[in-house]
Amino acid sequence: MKTFLEFKGQSLPQDRYALIAGRWHQPIVDALIQGAQDALIHAGGQVSQMDLVRVPGSFEIPQAAQWVLQEKRHAGLILLGCIVQGDTPHFEVLTHSVMGAVQTLALQGSLPLTCGILTVHTLEQAEARARKDKNNKGWEAMFALLEMIQVKRNGSSAHGN
């Protein structure tokens, strides 16, 4: 099975991918989106294969993902957002709510789904995870999605390495 490093330069199937992204902390999320797009290009795909759905914030991402999953038009979904801890318990409540909903969707959904929603203590931590390099969490989420699509397509023959 290919890992994300082995996708470079290959021609990907003409799959469509959905990318659902919050607008809260938009500069961070925009950098994550760019990372996912760069990864798709690096893997041999084209940005035109990616449908971008913008939602107000991370709380709305799971609901939009559910709608996109029901359409059954995509090979998989990437979820991108940013939740930064503040001075109130809102961070914990929001993080647990969003990540619990994402996990439920992943387990109940019929399509591969990867999560690049940042949950960080500071904006500096978010910026470090959204840099224009291979540590960008949007980049990582795209390659995780490509690998999960491959696992799904290979079924039980995807054991090992």
pLDDT (tens digit per residue) in 75-95:
999 999 999 998 887 888 999
pLDDT given for residue 1 in this prediction: 41
Which residue among the candidates 25, 42, 74, 90 is catalytic per the annotation? 90
> Rounded CA gap, 44 and 52, in Å?
19
pLDDT digits (tens, 9 = 90+) for 26-77: 999 999 999 999 999 999 899 999 999 999 999 999 999 999 999 989 999 9
pLDDT category, 157, cuts 50, 70, 90?
A: low
3-7, 8-12, 43-47, 156-160, range with greatest mean pLDDT? 43-47
pLDDT category, 3, cuts 50, 70, 90?
A: low
- In sequence order, which residues have a C-beta less than 8 Å from that of residue 113 and are 6 or more positions away? 65, 69, 76, 77, 78, 79, 102, 105, 106, 145, 148
pLDDT given for residue 158 in this prediction: 47
Known catalytic membership, residue 90 = yes
Task: State percent of the chain over pLDDT 90.
Answer: 72
List residues bridging with 127 in a β-sheet: none
pLDDT at 156 over 90: no
Q: What is the mean pLDDT of residues 152-157?
A: 72
What value does the mean pLDDT of the chain take? 88
pLDDT category, 17, cuts 50, 70, 90?
A: very high
Q: Domains of the chain (ranges plus CATH)?
A: 26-158 (3.40.50.960)
pLDDT digits (tens, 9 = 90+) for 106-132: 998 789 999 999 999 999 999 999 999
Spatial strand order of the sheet with 113-120 comes to 50-55, 17-22, 76-84, 113-120
